[in-house]
Copies of this chain bind each other. A is one copy, B any other.
Amino acid sequence: MEENKSISLFLIDDHPLILEGLKSLLATEPSIHIIGSAQNGLEALNFLNANPTLVQVVLSDIDMDPMNGIDLCTELKKQANPPQVLLLSMHSNAVMVKGAIVAEADGYVVKNAGKDELIKAIQQVANGGTYYSQEIIPIIYAQYQKEKQNHKELAILTPRELEILALIVKEQTSNQIAEQLFISRKTVEVHRANLLQKTACKSTIGLVKYAFKLGLA
């Protein structure tokens, strides 16, 4: 079942210029015919829900509002006979790629791919396969490891320690934190000491930087 019939494609991108560009680009490819297009995930979802089984492959940008490409994919894949979803993105952003995988996207193509690669990706997912641009794979892996690391580090800190860290970042002294939490200043100091030890920081300044790095501030 290579390409006996032409593939029905639905295009989604919030930038009209790119949308029109992709249309022109793919218009010359006989194995693909474009059913329609939308400028955001919500609009696309409405069309696809109203016309099920019409579209084989959905080619969607990720950055959109309302409803980005990943959320659209998640919604589509909940259905009984979902179309194949091929996501397009500007960036080789690992978080996005991870999101795409979680959303069960059938493929992920970066925009600095060529026309040939795009067409190959469309054909591949249309045939029930997957297509992820080669270059993103190492990036996902690295970022994935890093994220795992962050979560592990956060898990070390107890709820109380996180609470106190938050107050430290708010420029509160140990005395103020103690009053606020109805505990002794000494207890706060114990938590501080544990925070320093667990995070391997030399001083409160390190804790603040740590909080920033983990996005707690």
Contacts and interface: CB of A to CB of B under 8 A. Distances in A.
Interface of A: 14-18, 20-22, 24-25, 27, 88, 90, 111-115, 118, 168-169, 171, 173, 201-206, 208-209, 212, 217
A217 B203 CA distance: 16
Contacts of A27: 24
A73 to B, nearest CB: 19
A168 B209 CA distance: 12
Q: Specify the main secondary structure of chain A where it touches its partner.
A: helix
Contacts of A169: 205, 209
A88 B205 CA distance: 42
Contact of A25 (B24, B111, B201, B212): B24
Nearest to A113: B17
A20 B25 contact: yes
Contact of A209 (B16, B201, B217): B217
Given A24-B21, A90-B90, A171 B16 contact: no
Given A203-B171, A208-B205, A25 B15 contact: no
Contacts of A15: 90, 111-112
B21 A25 contact: yes
A180 to B, nearest CB: 15
A114 B171 CA distance: 48
Contact of A118 (B17, B90, B113, B209): B17
Given A171-B205, A204-B204, A115 B14 contact: no
Contacts of A90: 15, 90
A206 to B, nearest CB: 5
A111 B171 contact: no
